Structure 1
Amino acid sequence: MSREREKTTVSIEEYEKVQTVLNALMDQLASQLPNESANRIKEIYEFRSSILGETDRGAVLMAAAFLDDKLKGLIEKRLVQDRKVRKRVFDFNGALGTFSSRIDFAYLIGVIPKNAQKDLHTIRNIRNQFAHHAAPLSYDDEKVKGLCNNLVFHGVLETADAGSKFRRSVMGLLTHVTLAFESTEAIEAHPDFSIPDRAGAYQIVSKVFTDVTGAEYPLKHEHESVGAR
């Protein structure tokens, strides 16, 4: 009888050993990246570990908040670097003050693809299910399960359970947003418009008005100072 058939359970200690090996592999991978990139990858991996010990509700709320924050950072990097205007736009009552508005805006400015936009909205809807229902709730709830089954970023078979699809989709989206952040550049602010001298046009209009009516152009005071009359 093979070892594979003999072994039907895995101990907690063995799981911890697997995690230790995976952590070492992740550290090895991160060490080959620039410091900022490595830190972002490590942050994602550490976040994954942190939600594994959470309840379904806790994991969903944490994941949505983390994705929202990372999406905000991605959008901020793409926008004109005007701190005062950005703060106003991202305030709660601002144009980009909600997770929903940030998802759509990120898609419209081309920093995330359509399928990421759809999955992010699905995760937002899953979050709302947990946030707006005080009664006990889990991934096995029919509505939650249906939403999880709509996710595509998980990369697993459709037969996988809802919780696995959710967690893996979150990790896939976080990885995608992180990679997008690396390649995104800020839009340059457009220079101020140079206001043209309209004196020539005024003189023509003023002359025509006087020639036709015999009266002084009524808006003359808007174009000539008192001393110039």
Structure 2
Amino acid sequence: MSHESDRGCVLIAAAWVDDQLRVLIGNIFKDLNDCGVHPVAAKEFDALNRSILDGCFGKSVNRVNFCRLIGAIDSPTAAAMAALFQLRNEHFAHFAGVSELSDSAVAPKLSEFIESVVEAHPNPASLQNTVCGPGLERLRFTTAFESLRATTFAAETNFFKIAIHRRLRSLPIELRPHK
């Protein structure tokens, strides 16, 4: 993201998280379909999956809320994602003027995003106790995004496979996935 404007950084970061949420939810639906008594064929599954992801899960916040509801992400991570999407929507995506991470109007939402990431993933020392100055807002934003990206989605993709396989072992044989 080093060659992007501040607007580009925020939009790309939010789009990446949004895409990962779509993939995560799609994988959850696939795993659930594989465990179903009446699994849906691939072509129909793809159409239904797109319909759900573009319909009731069409908004980023709905995807975050769903993943939080089913335990795929923890509360601080959900808060960090929601703060990122609010930062994007309020100051970069739906605002025609010039917007920079160093703008005083952006500072509260940027701080909310960074604080949420620190709460979710308290290891990034470069985010904690750093005084913002000229140019540091972008460094803090990209560091927060990288922390969220690296720690959340690396582990979450296996969450449902593990949970579903544990659940499957406890089901009667006739309800196990069809192979």
TM beyond 0.5: yes
Distance 2:3 2:61 in 1: 27
In the other structure, the counterpart of 1:88 is 51
Q: Is the 8 A contact 1:149 1:158 kept in 2?
A: no
How many correspondences in the alignment? 140
Distance 1:104 1:180 in 2: 15
Runs of 4 or more above 4 Å deviation: 186-192
Q: Which string of whole-angstrom CA distances, capped at 9 and with x for unpartnered residues, describes residues 23-42 of structure 1?
A: xxxxxxxxxxxxxxxxxxxx
| RMSD, matched Cα | 2.4
Distance 1:142 1:88 in 2: 40
Distance 1:126 1:58 in 2: 12
Secondary structure at the counterpart of residue 52 of structure 1: coil
Within the alignment, does 1:141 sit opposite 2:111 as a pair? no
Deviation at 1:160, TM superposition (A): 4.2
**The one of 123, 142, 153 aligned to 2:84:** 123
Q: Is the 8 A contact 1:90 1:96 kept in 2?
A: yes
In the other structure, the counterpart of 1:177 is 153
List gaps (5 residues or longer) in structure 1.
1-50, 193-229
Within the alignment, does 1:98 sit opposite 2:47 as a pair? no
Within the alignment, does 1:158 sit opposite 2:129 as a pair? yes
Distance 1:113 1:139 in 2: 27
List gaps (5 residues or longer) in structure 2.
34-39, 119-123
Deviation at 1:54, TM superposition (A): 0.4
Distance 2:65 2:17 in 1: 14
Q: TM (normalized to structure 2)?
A: 0.69
Higher relative contact order (CA 8 A, sep 6+): 2
Secondary structure at the counterpart of residue 157 of structure 2: helix
| Greater Cα shift, 61-70 or 151-160 | 151-160
Deviation at 1:168, TM superposition (A): 1.5
AA matched with 2:7? R
Distance 1:118 1:76 in 2: 21
